[in-house]
């Protein structure tokens, strides 16, 4: 009997210890403190020095957790058990999150600096009147090529990727919707088609591309392209900007026949807890000098018109990353598919 009692006491002690450690761990990961902001962001998608500047100014510590695809982020939010205060879905994912009732409307009265934004990037079809979202960055999907392997100016169409001379040379970004969208545009179809026949045909077209594909990876593409590991990559404009900055042999093209135009947006998920911090952060990021600093660090195009004016002229006028209206007209924004 004595043994049993000591056993029970021992168990209770272990449980107590576990609860205490759990509590400590939770606190150090920042889930429950009051002076924190839990940001759920794409990998490498905010200038870290802005986070420390934000903490100096407001006292809120920002915990960043990262995801590598819209779908993965959706799954995690839907699963529950998270305490994210802000996250950064792309256009179609904003509507999907909205439909799944995972977002909270943004209180416009607590926001400042919304007039800094270029009206072209507000009031988009995925979120009318920006009830739930504030634009963060925008960009395109395109082709990056290395002029050590490919003569500059010769690669301008999606269909050229299928050419047998590029066997084992192409890296694709691991994003199902973008790569399928590319195959659809190549065939002259809408990136938002829901016609099963068209989609099936695009799938077959992608199967034909596979001998040319070297790898299907995500953030690693940057590293590989900078090291001249592959001749061609299909990736997003901001990734391309970073690659171009580190390797002067690289070039970025958005094929004329069309591509994807996307917007990443800051939204408040249902699980948010730290409202003071959220609005402080949104207003902080709305400020032109901060948005400009972020845009220079990340390389994507900023929707903040005043911030864009602060960028160096060479960046502002770079048609590769700030395409003109004529090009934008050929680009398509993804819509959420009607079925889940």
Partner 1 sequence: MTKRKTCGYFIPYGLWLGLFVIAPVALIVYQSFFSLDHHVTLANYATYFQSGVYLKMTLNSVWYAFLITLFTGLISYPTAYVLRQLKHRQFWLLLVILPTWINILLKAYAFIGIFSQDGVANSFLRFIGIGPQQLLFTNASFIFVATYIQIPFMILPIYNSLADLNPAYINASLDLGATRWQTFYRVIFPLTLPGVKAGVQAVFIPSLSLFMLTRLIGGNKVITLGTAIEEHFLTTMNWGMGSTIGVVLIVAMIIVMQLTNDHSGRSSQ
Among 55, 58, 66, 69, binds partner 1 (CB under 8 A): 69
- Enumerate residues 91-150 that contact partner 1 by CB under 8 A: none
10 Cβ contact list (under 8 Å, min separation 6)? none
Residue among 166, 131, 120 at smallest CA distance from 303: 120
CA terminus-to-terminus distance, the chain = 58
Considering only 164, 313, 325, 340, the residue that binds partner 1 (CB under 8 A) is: 340
Which of 228, 246, 289, 309 contacts partner 1 by CB under 8 A? 228
| Residue found by looking up tokens 């919304």 in the block | 114
Identify which of residues 213 and 250 has a Cβ nearer to partner 1 in the complex.
213
219: left (phi over 0), alpha (psi -120 to 50) or beta: alpha
What is the footprint of partner 1 within residues 147-186 (CB under 8 A)? Answer: 168, 171, 174, 176
> Is residue 222 at the binding interface for partner 1, with CB under 8 A as the rule?
no
Among 12, 14, 200, 245, binds partner 1 (CB under 8 A): 14
Neighbouring residues of 298: CB distance < 8 A, sequence distance ≥ 6: 44, 45, 46, 47, 137, 238, 242
Min separation Cβ 11 and partner 1, Å: 7
Q: Is 75 in the site for partner 1 (CB under 8 A)?
A: yes
Regarding 213 and contact with partner 1 (CB under 8 A), the answer is yes
Write down the least CB distance from residue 211 to partner 1, Å: 10
Distance, in Å, from the CA atom of 110 to the CA atom of 137, rounded to the nearest integer, reads: 21
Angle between helix axes 288-298 and 275-286 (nearest 10 degrees) is 80
The binding track of 306-335 with respect to partner 1, each residue x by CB under 8 A or -, is ------------------------------
Q: Is 224 a binder of partner 1 (CB under 8 A)?
A: yes
The nearest distance, CB 87 to partner 1, in angstroms, is 15
Phi, then psi, of 332 in degrees rounded to 5: -120, 140
Nearer Cβ to partner 1 (50/231): 231
Stretch that binds partner 1, among 3-11, 109-117, 292-300, 307-315 (CB under 8 A): 3-11
Q: How far is CA 104 from CA 71, 74, 87, 107, 271, in A?
A: 19, 15, 12, 9, 9
Which residue in the block uniquely carries the two structure tokens 């290395």? 146
Site residues for partner 1 per CB under 8 A: 3-4, 7, 11, 14, 69, 71-72, 74-75, 168, 171, 174, 176, 210, 213-217, 220, 224, 227-229, 340
């Amino acid at each position: 009997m004595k043994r049993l009692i000591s056993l029970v006491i021992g168990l209770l002690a272990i449980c107590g210890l576990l609860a205490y450690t759990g509590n400590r761990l939770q606190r150090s990961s920042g889930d429950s403190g009051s002076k924190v902001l839990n940001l759920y962001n794409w990998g490498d998608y905010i200038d870290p020095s802005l986070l420390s500047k934000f903490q100096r100014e407001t006292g809120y510590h920002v915990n960043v957790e990262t995801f590598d695809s819209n779908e993965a982020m959706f799954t995690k939010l839907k699963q529950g058990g998270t305490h994210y205060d802000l996250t950064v879905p792309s256009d179609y994912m904003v509507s999907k999150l909205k439909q799944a009732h995972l977002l909270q409307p943004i209180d416009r009265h607590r926001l400042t600096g919304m007039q800094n934004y270029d009206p072209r990037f507000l009031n988009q079809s995925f979120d009318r009147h920006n009830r739930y979202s504030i634009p963060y960055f925008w960009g395109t999907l395109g082709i990056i090529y290395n002029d050590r392997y490919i003569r500059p100016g010769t690669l301008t169409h999606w269909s050229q990727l299928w050419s047998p001379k590029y066997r084992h040379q192409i890296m694709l970004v691991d994003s199902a919707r973008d790569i399928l969208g590319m195959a659809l545009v190549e065939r002259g179809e809408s990136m938002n088609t829901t016609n099963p026949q068209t989609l099936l045909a695009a799938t077959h077209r992608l199967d034909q591309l596979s001998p040319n594909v070297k790898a299907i990876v995500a953030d690693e593409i940057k590293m590989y392209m900078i090291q001249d590991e592959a001749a061609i990559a299909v990736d997003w404009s901001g990734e391309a900007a970073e690659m171009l900055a580190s390797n002067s042999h690289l070039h970025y093209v958005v094929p004329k026949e069309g591509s994807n135009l996307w917007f990443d947006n800051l939204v408040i998920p249902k699980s948010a807890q730290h409202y003071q911090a959220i609005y402080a952060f949104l207003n902080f990021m709305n400020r032109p000098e901060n948005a400009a600093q972020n845009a220079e660090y990340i390389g994507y195009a900023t929707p903040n018109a005043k911030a864009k004016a602060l960028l160096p002229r060479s960046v502002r006028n770079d048609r590769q990353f700030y395409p003109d209206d004529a090009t934008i007209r050929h680009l398509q924004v993804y819509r959420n598919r009607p079925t889940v």
